[in-house]
Amino acid sequence: MSLQTNKRQWEDLGQVDPFWGMTGTNRFGGWDVEAFLQTGEEQVAQVMQQIEHWDRPSHWSTVLDFGCGVGRLAAAFRRRFEHYVGLDISESLIVKARQIHATLTCADFIVSASDTLPIASNSCDMVYCWGVLQHVRNRARALRYIAEFVRVMKPDGLLIFSTLDTIKPLYRLQPRRRAYALLRTVGVPPAILYHRLKLYPHEVHALPETYVLERMQDSGARILHVQKDSPPSAPHQWQTYYVTK
Q: Which residue, 114, 96, 127, 112, is CA-closest to 21?
A: 96
- Contact 10/93 with Cβ under 8 angstroms? yes
Residue 1 has pLDDT above 70, yes or no: no
Q: How far is CA 140 from the centre of its chain?
A: 17
Mean pLDDT, to the nearest integer, of 86-93?
97
Looking at residue 188, its pLDDT comes to 93
Looking at residue 226, its pLDDT comes to 96
Distance CA 202, CA 200 (A): 6
- pLDDT tens digit sequence for 223-243: 999 999 988 888 889 999 999
- pLDDT tens digit sequence for 49-75: 999 988 889 889 999 999 999 999 999
Distance CA 10, CA 128 (A): 19
Q: What percent of the chain has pLDDT over 90?
A: 71
Q: How many Cβ atoms from other residues are within 10 Å of residue 218's Cβ?
A: 12
Looking at residue 215, its pLDDT comes to 93
Looking at residue 2, its pLDDT comes to 77
Distance CA 185, CA 88 (A): 23
Mean pLDDT, to the nearest integer, of 14-32?
82
Residue 26 has pLDDT above 80, yes or no: no
Mean pLDDT, to the nearest integer, of 4-16?
87
Helix H, strand E, coil C: the string for 165-195 is EEECHHHHCCHHHHHHHHHHHCCCCHHHHHH
Domains of the chain: 3-165+204-244 (3.40.50.150)
Mean pLDDT, to the nearest integer, of 76-84?
98
Looking at residue 197, its pLDDT comes to 93
Contacts of 235 (CB under 8 A, 6+ apart): 167, 168, 170, 171
Distance CA 111, CA 26 (A): 26
